[in-house]
């Protein structure tokens, strides 16, 4: 018994010694990790590096960022200020909030900073994308892609977008069960990108499979760039390979097709625009270009669409004001939009609708911000931003802290009305689509889609929350409800403006 007692004490002592050793090792390694990045400061500049934590060796604060969501940025901003350092997705990073700070970064493109997304994002999107290009290559690519989003192009997309949205809302209304709005919005924007923007005639079964693969791709675009079996990055690479094969097949079939169409889709315009600028695109460039177009039209628009529906549910008075505006402009009769009445210029003239979309994008900006790499050391808010570091300007936090917005947490479309125009004092207080030379090329298409969705919701649907409470919001990879948004949709009889029974709605959807 005595020896057994000694064995137990010895085992406990060994365990305690190991625990202390591991703790000391972690503490020392973390301290060395902090010193390693402190040593990268530009010694020719007397200003200090921003305050902050670099987290644990190699992984940095990536785990905290994924788990805390919106709380990550706000908690560190409160502790360290509007400019602080961290380590995310395998890179040292300085996160920046505030209109003046953001202005300096966005206007410093090509001489102070240059675009550089996290390695996982760069590799998965591909080298031939607008997002990953710099300098003259970037300028030339923007010229080629800009025609896709011209006024004439948007006008030609509009009837097709409206038709896709109408079909989708009819399907939602005919479903006897509540739907997960975020999941369905993803399907809607993906189908819109494939069918309307790219003009692909992909069989429904293949399209469903392609959508599932694309979801896997998007889920891993922002992942640790560790290429190991079962890692998110490896799953993203596999998804990209599958997508590229499917896109190449669709592109080749489209190029060989002799069937005429009543409009030029984005891929048609892209191919013709590249020829006009003296460079015919290779198949790899076309694949990367179409993948980037889907990416641009998919995740952020699905996020904003879900936020729009959620706010209309929370604020029925806003929905009623939208209906009043449609009636006042002669667009809404007997519960539906007059056929052929929805044109681009008409949508631009709907002022309150524009205010609603702006407020959704202010309070629920789909992406957190944009990444840059520092070309030369510069000063920001009393700190040095060292050459070679990554810097991320925060859109959402700049909106949240902008002094020009009153009652910043309140959903109030009227703040953008002509009478108030809270965003008129400085363009960098409000930047849901970024700014400078890298302003989002597809912003007008995104706003067009959201406006058509809002008009169709206001004119043809009744919908109600199917859960007791509204869901929590997460920010990764884009802002969206954690468990989706459960909503029951009902059809409206366009003649009597009454709620249809489920059977009537199903019959009406087949007419």
Give the distance, in angstroms, between the CA of residue 54 and the centroid of all CA atoms in the same chain: 26
CB 446 within 8 A of CB 295: no
Residues near 502 by Cβ (< 8 Å), separated by ≥ 6?
Answer: 174, 176
Q: Within 81-221, where are the H helices?
A: 99-106, 119-125, 135-146, 151-174, 181-191, 204-219
Neighbours of 104 (CB within 10 A): 20
Say how far apart CA 420 and CA 441 lie, in whole Å. Answer: 28
Neighbours of 206 (CB within 10 A): 13
Say how far apart CA 301 and CA 189 lie, in whole Å. Answer: 7
Say how far apart CA 124 and CA 319 lie, in whole Å. Answer: 39
Residues near 19 by Cβ (< 8 Å), separated by ≥ 6?
Answer: none
Say how far apart CA 195 and CA 290 lie, in whole Å. Answer: 12
Residues near 306 by Cβ (< 8 Å), separated by ≥ 6?
Answer: 181, 182, 185, 480, 481, 485
- Which class for 159: exposed (0-12), middle (13-18), buried (19 or more C-beta within 10 A)? middle
Q: What angle do CA 181, 234, 129 make, to 5 degrees?
A: 70
The closest alpha carbon to 208, from 164, 241, 240, 246, belongs to 246
CB 459 within 8 A of CB 481: no
Q: Which two tokens stand for residue 224?
A: 């640790």
Query: What Rg, from alpha-carbon coordinates, does the chain have?
Result: 26
Say how far apart CA 461 and CA 464 lie, in whole Å. Answer: 10
Residues near 333 by Cβ (< 8 Å), separated by ≥ 6?
Answer: none
The full DSSP string for 359-406 is HHHHHT-SS-EEEEEESS-EEETTEEE-TT-EEEEEHHHHHHH-TTSS
The full DSSP string for 211-247 is HHHHHHHHHTSSS-----TT-HHHHHHHHHHHHHHHH
Give the distance, in angstroms, between the CA of residue 387 and the centroid of all CA atoms in the same chain: 28
3-state secondary structure of 109: strand
3-state secondary structure of 94: strand
355 is in an annotated binding site: no
Q: Residues marked as binding for heme?
A: 440
Q: Residues marked as binding?
A: 440
């Amino acid at each position: 018994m005595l020896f057994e007692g000694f064995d137990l004490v010895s085992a406990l002592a060994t365990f305690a010694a190991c625990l202390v050793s591991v703790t000391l090792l972690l503490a020392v390694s973390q301290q060395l990790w902090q010193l390693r990045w402190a040593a990268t400061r530009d010694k020719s500049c007397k200003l200090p590096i921003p305050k902050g934590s670099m987290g644990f060796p190699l992984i940095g604060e990536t785990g905290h960022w994924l788990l805390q969501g919106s709380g990550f940025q706000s908690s560190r901003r409160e502790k360290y200020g509007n400019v602080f350092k961290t380590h995310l997705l395998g890179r040292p990073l300085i996160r920046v909030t505030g209109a003046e700070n953001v202005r300096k970064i966005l206007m410093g493109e090509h001489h102070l900073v240059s675009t550089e997304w996290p390695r996982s994002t760069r590799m998965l999107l591909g080298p031939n994308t607008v997002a990953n290009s710099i300098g003259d290559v970037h300028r030339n690519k923007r010229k080629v892609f800009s025609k896709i989003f011209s006024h004439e192009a948007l006008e030609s997309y509009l009837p097709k977008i409206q038709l896709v949205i109408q079909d989708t809302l009819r399907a939602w209304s005919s479903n006897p069960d509540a739907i997960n709005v975020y999941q369905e919005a993803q399907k809607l924007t993906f189908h819109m990108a494939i069918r309307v923007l790219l003009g692909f005639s992909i069989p429904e079964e293949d399209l469903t499979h392609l959508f599932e693969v694309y979801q896997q791709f998007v889920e891993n675009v922002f992942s640790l760039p560790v290429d190991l079996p079962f890692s998110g990055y490896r799953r993203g690479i596999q998804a990209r390979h599958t997508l590229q094969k499917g896109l190449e097949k669709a592109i080749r079939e489209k190029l060989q097709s002799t069937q005429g169409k009543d409009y030029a889709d984005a891929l048609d315009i892209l191919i013709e625009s590249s020829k006009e600028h003296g460079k015919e695109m290779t198949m790899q460039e076309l694949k990367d270009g179409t993948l980037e177009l889907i990416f641009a039209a998919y995740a952020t628009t699905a996020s904003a669409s879900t936020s729009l529906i959620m706010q209309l549910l929370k604020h029925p008075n806003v929905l009623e004001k939208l209906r009043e505006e449609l009636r006042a402009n002669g667009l809404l009769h007997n519960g539906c939009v007059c056929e052929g009445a929805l044109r681009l210029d008409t949508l631009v003239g709907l002022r309150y609708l524009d205010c609603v979309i702006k407020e959704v994008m202010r309070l629920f900006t789909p992406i957190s911000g944009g990444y840059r790499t520092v070309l030369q050391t510069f000063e920001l808010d009393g700190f040095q931003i060292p050459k070679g570091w990554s810097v991320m300007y925060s859109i959402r936090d700049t909106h949240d802290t902008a002094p020009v917005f009153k009652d910043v947490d309140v959903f109030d479309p009227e703040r953008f009305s002509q009478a108030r125009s809270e965003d008129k004092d400085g363009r960098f207080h409000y930047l849901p689509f970024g700014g400078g030379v890298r302003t989002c090329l597809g912003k007008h298409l995104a706003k067009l889609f959201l406006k058509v969705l809002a008009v169709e919701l206001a004119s043809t649907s009744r919908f109600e929350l199917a859960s007791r409470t509204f869901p929590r919001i997460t920010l990764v990879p884009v802002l969206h409800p954690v468990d989706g948004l459960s909503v029951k949709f009902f059809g409206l009889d366009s003649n009597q403006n009454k709620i249809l029974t489920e059977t009537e709605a199903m019959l009406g959807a087949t007419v």
